[in-house]
Amino acid sequence: MTEFRAPRHLLSIDDLGANGIREAMSLAEAFAEVERRVIPKVPALRGKVVATLFFEDSTRTRLSFESAAKRLSCDVLTFNAGTSSLKKGESLRDTVEVIEAMGADAVVIRHSCSGTPVQVSRWVSRARVINGGDGSHEHPTQALADCLTVRQVIAERQGVEPDSLGVECFNGLRVLIVGDIAHSRVARSQVLAYTTLGARVTLCAPGTLLPGNVESWPVGVAGDLDAAIKETDVVSLLRLQRERGSGTYVPSLREYTQGWGLTARRASLLKKETIITHPGPMVRGVEIASDVADMEQSVVKRQVTNGVAVRMAVLFLLLATSDARGGIQRG
């Protein structure tokens, strides 16, 4: 593989490519070790300022970016849209410029409108922009956390260190993504990440919740979930994005669960090695049965834990000086 150069911004998984995903996962493993220390903090980004601008609700992404920034010794600016001067008519562009003028080195943005992080990246002069999830477009750091988690499970089964597997363990891995693909930014980033690493991705959803241009995606489409889940190594469940109107695309939640949910009956069809992932937030009893979410094969909590290490890795990739990089790589 060619040498990886960190992108200026992280707007899409495409900004990383296979080399960048490998580098981010390698750094994340180093930072996961930091997290296990008694004092889980390193001075790697001391003096840097990270601003979190969330215009949509979030638990995992906002908290994990803020936790990641603090563990790297950054200062954190938490922007709350509901109590900000946006309410007085200030524009998003002026808001971003104000935050950059206060010294933000990185801006993590979540917005309901696809493309907002790209737009913000054109307005900043110095700060790095990280996509924390934009509309139904992308959620790159979630896909990185998912890949990291899957690789850790594979490594544990083989009794090796995760990083020793590189990204070759994804080659030919069968990944089934089930649910509201049409409205899911996680699905788009997962498809990019997994297929970039050589995995074979299959989508399974009601026809109304498949993207209109799915033929142009590098994936297969399965019509029969019962058959598809018997043949997969990873099954990724997605929530119905009701805030994006998904409720109107299915007859009822009950019918959705019967047809497309990972119920206890369906989970019994999985191979015992199949890894169950869910980016959260889960709606227990709809896309995943509560008991299934807590099965040993489910790595949902681990995805959340890994979310902090992955976001440390992304902040480090975008903000660290070459001296700091050398320090981390030397361990």
Q: How far is Cα 273 from Cα 271, in angstroms, rounded to an integer? A: 5
Residue type, position 205, single letter: A
Residue window 200-239: x/- pattern of binding to ligand CP, with contact defined by CB under 6 A: ----------------------------------------
DSSP code, position 3: P
Nearer to ligand CP, 228 or 310 (CB): 310
Confirm whether 61 is a catalytic residue: yes
Q: Kindly indicate which of the ranges 57-65, 148-156, 193-201, 288-296 contains the residues binding ligand CP, using the contact rule CB under 6 A.
A: 57-65
110: left (phi over 0), alpha (psi -120 to 50) or beta: beta
Q: Does 281 help bind ligand CP (rule: CB under 6 A)?
A: yes
Report the b/e string of 191-226 with b at 16+ CB within 10 A: bbbbbbbebbbbbbbbeebbbeeeeebebeebeebe
Residue from 142, 246, 277, 306 binding ligand CP (CB under 6 A): 142
Q: Of 9, 22, 48, 110, which is the active-site residue?
A: 110
Cβ pair 129, 139 in contact under 8 A: no
DSSP code, position 301: H
Name every residue whose Cβ is closer than 8 Å to that of residue 280 and which is 6 or more positions away in sequence: 59, 60, 300, 303, 304
Nearer to ligand CP, 58 or 114 (CB): 58
Cβ pair 189, 143 in contact under 8 A: yes
Q: Does 78 help bind ligand CP (rule: CB under 6 A)?
A: no
Backbone angles phi, psi at 26, to 5 degrees: -65, -45
Q: Does 59 help bind ligand CP (rule: CB under 6 A)?
A: yes
Written as six digits, the tokens of 215 are: 């033929």
Q: Of 48, 111, 139, 183, which is the active-site residue?
A: 139
Confirm whether 244 is a catalytic residue: no
Q: Does 261 help bind ligand CP (rule: CB under 6 A)?
A: no
Residue 231 CB, shortest distance to ligand CP, in Å, is 26
Q: Does 60 help bind ligand CP (rule: CB under 6 A)?
A: yes
Q: Does 280 help bind ligand CP (rule: CB under 6 A)?
A: yes
Nearer to ligand CP, 43 or 281 (CB): 281
How many residues contact ligand CP, by CB under 6 A? Answer: 10
Confirm whether 9 is a catalytic residue: no
Confirm whether 139 is a catalytic residue: yes
Backbone angles phi, psi at 196, to 5 degrees: -60, -35
Residue from 20, 133, 140, 179 binding ligand CP (CB under 6 A): 133
Residues contributing to the site for ligand CP (CB under 6 A): 58-61, 133, 139, 142, 279-281
- Give catalytic residues, as residue numbers: 60-61, 88, 110, 139
